Structure 1
Amino acid sequence: MSLLEIQDLDAGYGDLEILSNIDLHVDDGEYVTIVGPNGAGKSTVMKTIVGLATYMDGTITYKEKDIAELEPEDIIYEGLGYVPQSENVFPTLTVEENLRLAVYILDEFPEERKQEVYDRFPVLANRKQQKAGDLSGGQQQMLAMGCSLMLDPDILLLDEPSAGLAPDLVDDMFDRIDAINDAGTTVLMVEQNAKEALRRCDRGYVLANGKNRYEDDGDALLQDQEVRQQFLGG
């Protein structure tokens, strides 16, 4: 049974339609990646799921509940975690303060989850009193993911987690995402580093011009000659 299912989704911004008849599903425990050229609508899919883009038509079902027209703050309560590509931490607050703010909806602060975040990202533990804006780009991405994990989401939505990272840090970031999925968190990721993302994921979707083009296992998409020529640089 699908944890998250999208059918015939039309969405965009205001009156501008970006997505047309998008179909997508993510099963419990899966690691799914959305790839495609710039402007394909990949990030719009993510933003529509979490209520930050304009829903127009179709269905978005999470745990068999229709969430298509919920407000973003209500979607958080449903157990979805979302890490946007940029502006995903509070730069003037410390690492510790960011983690505390991430769980403002809870009655009690989950100390054990904070420790789990520090165990997963030791560099954050070493910089807990440092302002987030003084962290490197990779460290800020770790903090953004840590903030999302503080609410123990059933699914983690990641929008371009490797964007802006130095090449030698990209593999490390993917390794950390692998580990999050291996620990039991379902992952849906948008990623420009298509070859590496497809190599690591269970299944992938290729979007172009706001429409579904291909869907298959990650390895199968990597080996598909049409996909390679059109979207992966041969």
Structure 2
Amino acid sequence: MSTNADADTHTDASTGASTTPAGSERLLEVENLDAGYGDLQILTDVDMFVDEGEYVTIVGPNGAGKSTLMKSVFGLTAHMGGTVTFAGEDITGLMPEQIIHEGIGYVPQNDNTFTSLSVQENLEMGAYILDEVPEDALEAVFDRFPILRERKDQKAGTMSGGQQQMLAMGRALMLEPDLLLLDEPSAGLAPDLVADMFDRIDAINDDGTAVLMVEQNAKEALRRCDRGYVLANGENRYVDSGDALLNDPQVRQDFLGG
């Protein structure tokens, strides 16, 4: 089982062979990251990476630092040490509005839509850094989420939780990012909607967008991802393929409920 000592290597637990897709390149790399809020340190010496087109999941108990890691990549925490590199560029310490320009989209868990604006206005806000709303990107979002086209004039605050989550993802996709950060995308959804949400995330990844996701539904997330990280107490605990983590007895006992 891979641990923090070799967290920069993607290996299969049973064979030791690389499971990174052939020809892919490193997209995001977090090295020795210390981060938190104000003077409160949450993350300690955390390493993580995402390759082009990869689907990576971060799991762990409540309070492990999962969302803090996601926010740190997007410039929303106090940086205390280490580096964050994206597409070969050091983005450590950049503000979120700068990071968006680099090709990273972020969907927070809470308050992720402008409730007083319409669906279309929310999507247009996703392209606020451009001089004009890209119509091809808007159409692509409507094609991916047909319910948003049907309700494009509806106020976001009147939509269901699942529809608002689709809207938040659609807004983040308006700039066609290379990497999509998703913080607890299934949180608050009815059980019958969770599988549909995961299917939509799979489709986004299948179309070439790399995904880094924090998810409370750890077993389902690990089942679908290329590689997973287990955090505990703000530190790397395990990293391996999703299948390997699911089948590791210690991981199952300590983090997945057996």
For the aligned pair, the TM-score class normalised by the smaller chain equals over 0.9
- Aligned-residue offset at 1:64: 1.1
Distance 1:29 1:96 in 2: 28
Other structure's SS at 1:187 match: strand
2:13 maps to 1:7: no
1:122 paired residue number = 146
Of 146, 169, 180, 2:204 maps to 180
Per-residue CA deviations over 1:64-111 (Å, capped at 9, x if unaligned) read 111111111111110100000010110000001101111111122111
2:56 maps to 1:17: no
Give the % identical residues.
71
Per-residue CA deviations over 1:14-38 (Å, capped at 9, x if unaligned) read 0000000000000001000000000
1:226 paired residue number = 250
Of 95, 113, 120, 2:137 maps to 113
1:162 paired residue number = 186
Distance 1:223 1:74 in 2: 40
5+ residue gaps, structure 2, are: 1-24
Pairs aligned (count): 234
2:98 maps to 1:74: yes
What RMSD, in angstroms, separates the aligned Cα atoms of the two structures?
Answer: 0.5
Task: Give TM-score, length-normalised by structure 2.
Answer: 0.90
Other structure's SS at 1:150 match: helix
Distance 2:45 2:131 in 1: 40
2:225 paired residue number = 201
- Aligned-residue offset at 1:114: 0.7
| Structure 1 moving runs of 4+ over 6 Å | none
1:84 paired residue number = 108
2:240 maps to 1:210: no
**Which residue identity is paired with 2:93?**
E
Distance 2:82 2:125 in 1: 34
Equivalent runs, 1:130-145 vs 2, <5 Å = 130-145=154-169
